[in-house]
Amino acid sequence: MTTPLRDVAESGIDVDAAAAAVTDLMRALGMDPTDPSLNRTPTRVARAYAELLSPREFGLTTFPNDEGYDELVVARDIPFTSLCEHHLLPFVGTASVGYLPGVRILGLSKLARVVELFARRPQVQERMTKQVGTWLDQHLRPRGVGVVIRAEHTCMTLRGVHAHGATTVTSALLGTLRDDLRSRAEFLSLAT
């Protein structure tokens, strides 16, 4: 079964207006946007943000669990980039996403697509972690879902406290992976 999903951000992005705003920002920061080395920067910045804020369309492909597979399925080290909603600076990391199948199993690439779906918007890591887990729980109806996200936030490493190399780890566990201590421990050992 395939359920198509749409790009949620792309339709609302006005690259020309964003480029004009970047031009104003550059001037306010004392830069000359007419300088030959900077004159295309506003458009480049606007396009970069448009890309960072536009998840790719995908279909949620699931298959009947005809074999009755009842062990964990975990995709580890799924790379992502998101934007801190407080500073619009990137945070970059990896997600480990797993589930205990119910009557359907998921096309494995879709675990990475769901991470991208929620990463490609202004975000906080805690919310993103919960969104990925909740979305999979609602759309797949597995017996359990687990998400662990590890990321470096440039709003913390490039400015402010300058905590270079610091990472933040968040988790969301639903169903059996939250309620059953052995299943929880198994997922966390596989996910990290």
168-175 vs 144-153, strand pairing mode: antiparallel
> Token pair for residue 121?
């918007």
- CA quadruple 124, 128, 130, 135: dihedral positive or negative? positive
How would you label 83-115 residue by residue, b for 16+ Cβ within 10 Å and e otherwise? Answer: bbeebeebbebebbbbbbbeeebbeeebbbbbb
Catalytic sites, residue numbers = 84-87, 125, 153, 155
Spacing of C-alpha 159 from chain mean position: 22
